[in-house]
């Protein structure tokens, strides 16, 4: 995944794509920050799963910013944030639909024998391990909560 993003950055630089280059540089900087953090704790460089979670976090930050810009009547900035979201999404794995999230949650609940709301943490941790970067965990959380009640 790292090589794909680096290749896209090089292509965008050569094509002088002023819309993509800054966003791709931000992505590469976030990955490099994670690598440095991992090196400080004796871990390997960021894996594809970690990169996926970095990208998901970047998308969430931009969604929140776009919402705030809209509330502040700064539509041009909100549109810029949404354009960055689309660029970042190009590198994300396919996102699961709500039905697929529900099916995955049911599978994990059955597998670990979760019986009630107190097993929610265990269920969410397993989902995060298996589906990092592939699902919206806030939506998954509400589905798991509903299934465990």
pLDDT digits (tens, 9 = 90+) for 74-127: 999 999 999 999 999 888 878 888 899 989 999 998 888 888 888 888 899 888
Asked if residue 140 has pLDDT above 80, the reply is: yes
Rg of the Cα atoms in the chain: 18
**pLDDT at residue number 21:** 95
Average pLDDT over the chain reads: 90
Query: Hey, what long-range contacts does 18-23 have (CB within 8 A, 24 or more apart)?
Result: 19/83, 19/87, 20/87, 23/84, 23/87, 23/88
Domains of the chain by residue range: 2-89, 98-148
Q: Any idea which of 8-12, 36-40, 76-80, 84-88 has the lowest mean pLDDT?
A: 36-40
Instruction: Note the CATH number of domain 2-89.
Output: 1.10.1510.10
Longest dimension (CA), the chain: 55
Contact 1, 51 (CB under 8 A): yes
**pLDDT at residue number 118:** 87
Claim: this prediction has a pTM higher than 0.85: no
Write out the DSSP string of 52-97: HHHHHHHHHHHHHHHHHHHHTT-HHHHHHHHHHHHHHHTTSPPPPP
CA distance 135 to 99: 11
**CATH topology for 98-148?**
Arc Repressor Mutant, subunit A (1.10.10)
């Amino acid at each position: 995944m790292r090589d794909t993003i680096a290749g896209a950055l090089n292509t965008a630089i050569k094509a002088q794509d002023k819309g993509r280059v800054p966003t791709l540089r931000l992505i590469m900087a976030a990955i490099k920050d994670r690598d440095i953090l991992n090196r400080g704790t004796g871990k390997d460089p960021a894996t594809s799963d970690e990169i996926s979670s970095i990208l998901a976090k970047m998308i969430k930050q931009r969604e929140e910013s776009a919402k705030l810009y809209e509330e502040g009547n700064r539509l041009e900035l909100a549109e810029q944030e949404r354009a960055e979201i689309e660029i970042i999404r190009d590198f994300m794995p396919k996102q699961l639909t709500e039905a697929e999230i529900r099916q995955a949650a049911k599978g994990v609940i059955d597998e670990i024998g979760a019986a009630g709301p107190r097993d929610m943490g265990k269920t969410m941790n397993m989902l995060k391990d298996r589906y990092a970067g592939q699902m919206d965990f806030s939506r998954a959380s509400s589905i798991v909560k509903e299934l465990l009640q």
